[in-house]
Structure 1
Amino acid sequence: MVGLGAARAADPLLHNDYAAALIDRGEYEQAIEQLEKAYSLFSSDRTLKENLATAHALLGQKLLDKKSYPQAAEQFGKALELSPDTPRFHLLRGIALTFARDYDAARYELETTRTLGGDSADVFYFLGKTFYDVGETAQALDFWEKAAALAPGDARFAGLLERMRREQSAEGKMDRGYSSRFIVSYDTEVQSGKALDILDALERVYNDVGADLDFYPEARVPVILYTLKDYREVTRSPHWSGGLYDGKIRLPIGGATELTPELRATLRHEYTHAVVRELTRGNCPTWLNEGIAELQGRQESNPPLIELAQAIKTGAFIPLRSLEGNFSALDEQRIRLAYEESYAVVNYLVTNYGWYRVKAILANLGEGVPFDQAVTRGLADFALSYDDFSREWRDSMQQQYRDRKN
């Protein structure tokens, strides 16, 4: 006689019902285990197959929300193995692959979505993004115009098309150069030889920053070299901005005739933002992001820290928690102090605790860990919290000032 426990273990419907309860609780991994058992017992049952595919898709959505893009794409792929003609699974995998910067695979999934389910604003939006992220603005604009036509009330397109048309107006006439890791688009005022020099410099920066942060992005990074006029028009950046990273490195070069230390510093600074964004999936406080970029840039050009020196004398530091958000609300003098202070904090962190722990903090942020907790984990060997570290840095600055006076 078969025991009751063995009978339950051999009943696919019991596994399926248990999986449904687990899904309701958001426990998708455990639900998948139960559904795999059910499906192995009754693989001809269409409902079990669909339920297993749905469970993989739900886990993929959870990972997508956590910005774990490659892992999300893997789960959507498993859903597609079970249900290859479900347009939504192709769309979701395409979205995950787009954010994972695997653009060729993403386009395949998005185009398959179109074949199976017709055109939609989401499909066109993400197809446009796969082109935009690699510098193909004309193709991106075409897809985004189609998306906006299908969803005229979608907030994503409110200012997107106007900005894209500004970019296309400036970038449509540009030439282009390539290296293994970068795509450089440059205005006709920029000599092609200078663009090649910039590509060479960026390849060195790629290796140097990669060595410090132990990270080497696989996807090519777009770099756009503008005239000063076009840079201001496209980016709408403040007058003090010497460069910008917003998914692309944007630099006002104009008629520059040589690769100055200041230009090398800007290249290094802006490329570092690209690395930090990818490591943290965009979840990085501004002072840490700018501080790492400033530390890298100052290896090429290291101007005096005038505002920081004054803050050390008076104790008028900007609290680090006030520097976690955008600096744009600060006046120009405070902005200079914000950048100098961010540099000094990260320089102290690297000097005293090493790049390894900076990378650990960034990795925690990339997993969606709140910043306080990311710092505490990164400095766990020293039992330092975020506030402890902040006080330690301020005390160190004040001590250095007292030592110089004596």
Structure 2
Amino acid sequence: MLDRALLLALLFCAGTALAADPTTYGTKAQQLITKGDFPQALEELKAATSRFPYDLELKRQLAFTYSELAKRDLQAGRYAQAAENFKQAHELIPDSKELVLMRGIALYLNKDYAAAREELIQAGEGSESLVYQGKISYDTGDLPGALELWRRAKELDPANKVLTGLIEKAERELPVESRMDKGYSSMFDLAFDAELPPGLSAEVLDALESAYNTVGADLGVFPTTRIPVLLYTRKDYSSVTAGPDWSGGLYDGKIRLPVGGITRLTPQLRAIIFHEFTHVVVAELTRGNVPTWFNEGLAEIEGRKEHVPRFPEVRGNHLIPMATLSKGFTGMAGAEAGLAYQQSYLMTRFMVDRYGWYAVQQVLKYLGQGNNMDAAVAKALSDYSLDLNGVVREWRESLPGAVSGDASQ
């Protein structure tokens, strides 16, 4: 009886020893990684490294897994989680400058500029680190600092065309912005031409604060990062943005407004402010993953609360194709652009009126998670058993001169 008990104990110990072997843990984790099951691989490797804290191969595998999860988070727009996973990976491989750089980029994308700058400086003087340090300076209103960093990066990477574009854009803006005055409110940093009428800048700041509250309530988010706003003369606006003649404003990370000739805040300018601020919120929610028609449609809804412009009538037998509306409008002539904005407004207004703001917020949420518009609408309107084609079809049927057919046409 004693011999049998001893044999069972030996077998149990052998099994335990085998299960506790670091190679066994590593092999199982590698199988999970190969399958793409990084979360489960992470749990296996965390358990393994707690048992074998000095096993370098297990640490390497764990760091790799954290890094892969961080890259997935980046692609899905989960920037704060990506930064945390890169941090965990770096703690396991403290000599890796690449992991420091990637954490800095994740923090920048999350608009945590102070922490991002610190990480990027620690990453060293590489071209990519300097580019993102320059982006932080640019986004926070330090154009000379951004140019200096980008020019240093250009010396290291002279063939980088994206970097060339950044430098050229900043060089266009610097002569104009260097002579601007400054103004501030709770959430906005305003730069404006010194020749603008006294008092206009304060009225613009008040309108921006109103837009912040109104648009934030509709779309369900209130940005926490300060937002730069620039007021130009019409001539300076054209030279800086190179936008079409019909453009009344622009958001490219900064709200840019041409206000030359205006002596007070008009309903039209107030509407443009609401319109452009909507783009700020949509960009934050979707990480830029949004079709133009939906982005502009939401902006028109908010802007038209302040002023209703004159636009051409949209009829069901004369529509711009959805594929065209999903791209930018800046290459369109004035009349076509007017029709594009009106059609975008009517389609989006239909969605708000028919399904409610909550459904629209859900569409934006799913876009922010990396879904395309078709999938985002299908998920948001699952209770209605509708996809994007179904929504567009219902909208088209509500128009004057409606015809049946493929909603994508």
- For 2:26 and 2:11, the matched residues in 1 are separated by 21
**1:97 — aligned with what?**
107
C-alpha deviations, 1:85-141, integer Å up to 9, x for none? 421111100000111111011011111212xxxx11001000011111122211111
Ranges of 4+ aligned residues in structure 1 off by more than 6 Å: none
Deviation, 1:255, is: 4.2
Is 1:33 equivalent to 2:43 in the alignment?
Answer: yes
- For 1:23 and 1:152, the matched residues in 2 are separated by 37
**1:48 — aligned with what?**
58
Which structure has the bigger radius of gyration? Answer: 2
Which has the larger displacement, 176-185 or 15-24? 15-24
What SS does the aligned partner of 2:199 have?
helix
C-alpha deviations, 1:266-291, integer Å up to 9, x for none? 00000100110110010000000000
Is 1:78 equivalent to 2:88 in the alignment?
Answer: yes
Deviation, 1:84, is: 3.3
Deviation, 1:249, is: 0.4
Counterpart selection for 1:383 from 359, 382, 385: 385
Deviation, 1:235, is: 0.3
- For 1:168 and 1:21, the matched residues in 2 are separated by 54
Q: Compared with structure 1, are the counterparts of its residues 272 and 5 closer, same or farther at alpha carbon in structure 2 (3 Å cutoff)?
A: farther
**2:130 — aligned with what?**
124
Is 1:321 equivalent to 2:323 in the alignment?
Answer: yes
- For 1:105 and 1:125, the matched residues in 2 are separated by 16
User: Do the aligned residues in 2 keep the contact of 1:285 with 1:324 (CA within 8 Å)?
Assistant: yes
Q: Compared with structure 1, are the counterparts of its residues 168 and 2 closer, same or farther at alpha carbon in structure 2 (3 Å cutoff)?
A: farther
Is 1:12 equivalent to 2:18 in the alignment?
Answer: no
TM-score by length of 2: 0.92
User: Do the aligned residues in 2 keep the contact of 1:228 with 1:254 (CA within 8 Å)?
Assistant: yes
Is 1:350 equivalent to 2:358 in the alignment?
Answer: no
User: Do the aligned residues in 1 keep the contact of 2:249 with 2:257 (CA within 8 Å)?
Assistant: yes
What SS does the aligned partner of 1:140 have?
helix
Letter in 2 for 1:348: F
Counterpart selection for 1:304 from 307, 310, 316: 310
- Percentage of matched positions with identical amino acids: 45
Deviation, 1:2, is: 4.1
Which has the larger displacement, 91-100 or 60-69? 60-69
- For 1:278 and 1:297, the matched residues in 2 are separated by 18
Is 1:243 equivalent to 2:256 in the alignment?
Answer: no
User: Do the aligned residues in 2 keep the contact of 1:189 with 1:254 (CA within 8 Å)?
Assistant: no
- For 1:379 and 1:398, the matched residues in 2 are separated by 25
- For 1:2 and 1:342, the matched residues in 2 are separated by 71
- For 1:99 and 1:192, the matched residues in 2 are separated by 36
Gaps of 5+ in 2: 1-9, 403-409
User: Do the aligned residues in 1 keep the contact of 2:75 with 2:370 (CA within 8 Å)?
Assistant: no
Is 1:285 equivalent to 2:287 in the alignment?
Answer: no
**1:153 — aligned with what?**
159
Deviation, 1:70, is: 1.4
Which has the larger displacement, 120-129 or 158-167? 158-167
Which has the larger displacement, 241-250 or 82-91? 82-91
Deviation, 1:191, is: 4.0
User: Do the aligned residues in 2 keep the contact of 1:53 with 1:80 (CA within 8 Å)?
Assistant: yes
C-alpha deviations, 1:50-79, integer Å up to 9, x for none? 332222122112222333211111111212
Q: Compared with structure 1, are the counterparts of its residues 8 and 255 closer, same or farther at alpha carbon in structure 2 (3 Å cutoff)?
A: farther
Number of aligned positions between the proteins: 393
Gaps of 5+ in 1: 401-406
C-alpha deviations, 1:347-377, integer Å up to 9, x for none? 1111111110001001111001121111111
Which has the larger displacement, 316-325 or 294-303? 316-325
User: Do the aligned residues in 2 keep the contact of 1:31 with 1:55 (CA within 8 Å)?
Assistant: yes
**2:372 — aligned with what?**
370
What SS does the aligned partner of 1:159 have?
helix
What SS does the aligned partner of 2:183 have?
strand
Is 1:398 equivalent to 2:403 in the alignment?
Answer: no
Deviation, 1:259, is: 0.6
**2:6 — aligned with what?**
none
Deviation, 1:179, is: 1.7
C-alpha deviations, 1:229-250, integer Å up to 9, x for none? 1100010001000100111100
Deviation, 1:205, is: 0.7
Letter in 2 for 1:82: L
**1:403 — aligned with what?**
none
